[in-house]
Chain A
Amino acid sequence: MSAITVRDLSKTFAYYRKQSGLRHSLRNLFHREQLYRHAVANISFDIGQGEAVGFIGPNGAGKTTTLKMLSGILHPSAGEARVLGYVPWERRREFKRRFAIVMGQKSQLWWDLPANESIYLNKCIYGIDEREYRMTLDELAEMLDVKHLLGVQVRRLSLGERMKMEIIAALIHRPKLLFLDEPTLGLDFAAQQNVRQFLKAYKEEKQATILLTSHYMRDIEHVCGRALVIHGGQIAYDGKLSRMSESFGRRKRMKVRFAAFIPPEELHELVRLLAVVRTHDGLTAELEVSADEVKPLARLLIDHDLVEDWTVEEVPVEEVIERLYKAKFGNEGEGDDGEAPGTRQRHAQEG
């Protein structure tokens, strides 16, 4: 049984544009040119019960808009969706009791009171009985390591601690469906890891369905098995996360600082068999190399006594998304931004 079914869902926002300057401001007082932005355009997907899906995309791709439609905050402009058998934007009470949404940037906690007051309020709102409430609260607070902070005014908590309190408040009714919008945004490394582990444990213990958006690929890798990549309001990739990272994850970026100036031709010639030179300005270079070739490349550079310093990084998620998007919609004339024509062809096959 699928927990979420989405068919041709679209959301269009109306807005207006103003050119800079006082003259245009005055003109805008009387006449505004109405424009439309397709935040989400005809997306369709299914998510099974107990599945954890990572929703990936750059800012403004339509992730949050989709989550808002699925949680009933927004009415769509067109299309259908069923969540746990309900039409979300009908905002039925029975539906609301069965899911939770955690929005990284919107707090449901009372700022001036300790978090446990807000959590208790949710206990009353969801009508949870006392014993069960105690049990869940203890358990969640312990898993997130914030038990000792429940009695502290929310405004005195750190960002990470507050986020954890938000999660507890959202999960106090033990929902089986969980939407998370950037739950780790702005958190430090330890807190991020803690939240990730928690989400994974929650998912496994409850067989909860999770739809998670995040900027951090790690969040998604840790919690989700499947990725939905959205770009420009359209689904660019829907499939196993492992397959997606296979296409790109096996490639690394090596940023090198040379001890002395090295002419471009020489560098190209040197690494030709192992890596692609992405940028090079004589003293520094960025090489793209398949993961298996990192070692030989490193050895090669050391043997030639060229390197002063280096780092090896993943291909940034944004770039992966961009490529996936181009692979899928590339021929619809998005405008080539100068990437080698061959890469598009190659990724189209992988996607």
Chain B
Amino acid sequence: MEKHPERGSGMRKRDSGEPGSMQPEAGAVYSKRSRSGKYAAAFKIGLQASLEYRLQFVIGLVSLVFPVGIQSLIWTAVYRSSAQDVLYGYDYGQMILYTILSGIVAKFVMTQLEHTIAEDIKSGGLNTYLVRPVSYFGYRLSAYAGSRVVSDSVLIVLVTTVLLIAIRYGHTPLSPVRIGLFTAALVLAAAVQFLLSYAICALAFRLAEISYFFVITGLVVQILSGGMVPLEVFGETLNGWFNLLPFKYTIYFPVNVLNGRLAEGEALTGIFIQCGWIVLLAGAAHAAWRLGLKRYVGLGG
């Protein structure tokens, strides 16, 4: 058990002991490469950690079956009992397709990260990031992106399968342009949602117990995003308001790019609006966090 500190010749070799030897040169030595390196490392570690939680993802996926299944049953009943073939601008097939796709896209876009971040703020886990030369935002984003690689691949396979089946049942095949537009819309939607959560999380600096808040916002956001039912269901007036909010650009919009309800031009406009929201939300999140960190109390540890 007894250890030999003397063996640590490496320490001495490197540092000759002058007070200045560990000092400013440090800044110069660390190259740009290392800056991107740390976020790549965070990405990798996030990916590795996610592999430890395979089961959790599978269960999450299985849990998707229930809401989607129930909604499909309800819509089936609604269409059967209705005299019209088209409701809210969707025929039966389109409605079922929307329900399934929005379920999958919601899984893709919804981060569930707000709980992690709020917990970091509340219990002082943020401390360990504040003292290291790394941006918390960059670190969390990279680790999160890494943790999504596997699950997102599975989701892509799932989307493809659903679409292939839909095409078999008479849905118009997708052009490569549309697939490209959808990919862009989906990635941007994920960014909008991430920034939205990140900004909301800054509230944890003020409110000690925020998880209840997330339960409500999660639900509201999912409804306003079109994650439950197509937004057309809510009528013209409300949709006018929805246009002013970022939510519909997270689920409703990418799904409608994919199922072809939006023309390519409209899709492009939507993508620009998404970019606008990203800039706006990034600014808001940044400001909120700056303020929050000032009054941060770093509890625990």
Interface residues of A (CB under 8 A from B): 1, 13, 49, 64, 68, 71-75, 91, 93-94, 96-101, 103-108, 110, 112-113, 117-118, 120-127, 132, 135-136, 138-139, 142-145, 174-176, 181, 190, 194, 197-198, 200-202, 204-207
- Cα–Cα, bound, A81→B67 (Å): 56
Given contacts A96-B133, A107-B128, A143-B5, contact A13 B15 (CB under 8 A): no
Most chain B C-beta atoms within 10 Å of own C-beta, residue among A121, A136, A207: A121
Cβ contacts under 8 Å, B169 to chain A: none
Cβ contacts under 8 Å, A107 to chain B: 128
Cβ contacts under 8 Å, B124 to chain A: 106
A-B contact pairs, 15 of them (CB 8 A): A68-B127, A68-B298, A73-B131, A74-B297, A101-B131, A106-B125, A106-B127, A106-B128, A124-B34, A124-B41, A126-B133, A127-B34, A127-B37, A143-B7, A205-B11
Verify if B62 is at the interface (C-beta below 8 Å from A). Answer: no
Verify if B49 is at the interface (C-beta below 8 Å from A). Answer: yes
Given contacts A118-B45, A142-B7, contact A127 B29 (CB under 8 A): yes
Q: Contact check: which of A94, A138, A198, A204 meets B27 at CB < 8 Å?
A: A94
Nearest neighbor of B34 in chain A, beta-carbon distance: A127
User: Contact between A125 and B134 (Cβ–Cβ < 8 Å)?
Assistant: yes
Given contacts A98-B22, A104-B301, contact A124 B38 (CB under 8 A): yes
Given contacts A110-B49, A113-B49, contact A91 B130 (CB under 8 A): yes
Given contacts A127-B35, A142-B3, contact A103 B127 (CB under 8 A): yes
User: Contact between A145 and B130 (Cβ–Cβ < 8 Å)?
Assistant: no
User: Contact between B1 and A194 (Cβ–Cβ < 8 Å)?
Assistant: yes
Cβ contacts under 8 Å, A145 to chain B: 1, 3
Cβ contacts under 8 Å, B131 to chain A: 71-73, 96, 99-101
User: Contact between A174 and B22 (Cβ–Cβ < 8 Å)?
Assistant: yes
Nearest neighbor of A68 in chain B, beta-carbon distance: B298
User: Contact between B14 and A13 (Cβ–Cβ < 8 Å)?
Assistant: no
Cβ contacts under 8 Å, A73 to chain B: 127, 130-131, 296, 298
Given contacts A106-B128, A110-B49, A205-B8, contact A121 B22 (CB under 8 A): no
The minimal Cβ–Cβ distance linking A20 to chain B, given in whole angstroms, is 19
Interface residues of B (CB under 8 A from A): 1, 3-5, 7-8, 10-12, 14-15, 17, 19, 22-24, 26-27, 29-31, 34-35, 37-38, 40-42, 45, 48-49, 52-53, 124-125, 127-128, 130-134, 294-298, 300-301
- Cα–Cα, bound, A202→B31 (Å): 28
Cβ contacts under 8 Å, A123 to chain B: 41
The minimal Cβ–Cβ distance linking A282 to chain B, given in whole angstroms, is 45
The minimal Cβ–Cβ distance linking A253 to chain B, given in whole angstroms, is 31
The minimal Cβ–Cβ distance linking B289 to chain A, given in whole angstroms, is 13
Nearest neighbor of B128 in chain A, beta-carbon distance: A108
User: Contact between B8 and A143 (Cβ–Cβ < 8 Å)?
Assistant: yes
Cβ contacts under 8 Å, B14 to chain A: 132, 135, 174
User: Contact between A198 and B11 (Cβ–Cβ < 8 Å)?
Assistant: no
The minimal Cβ–Cβ distance linking A154 to chain B, given in whole angstroms, is 11
User: Contact between B42 and A121 (Cβ–Cβ < 8 Å)?
Assistant: yes
User: Contact between A117 and B11 (Cβ–Cβ < 8 Å)?
Assistant: no
Q: Knowing that A127-B34, A175-B22 are A-B contacts, what are 4 other residue pairs whose CB atoms are under 8 Å apart, sorted by A's residue number?
A: A68-B127, A100-B131, A106-B128, A143-B8
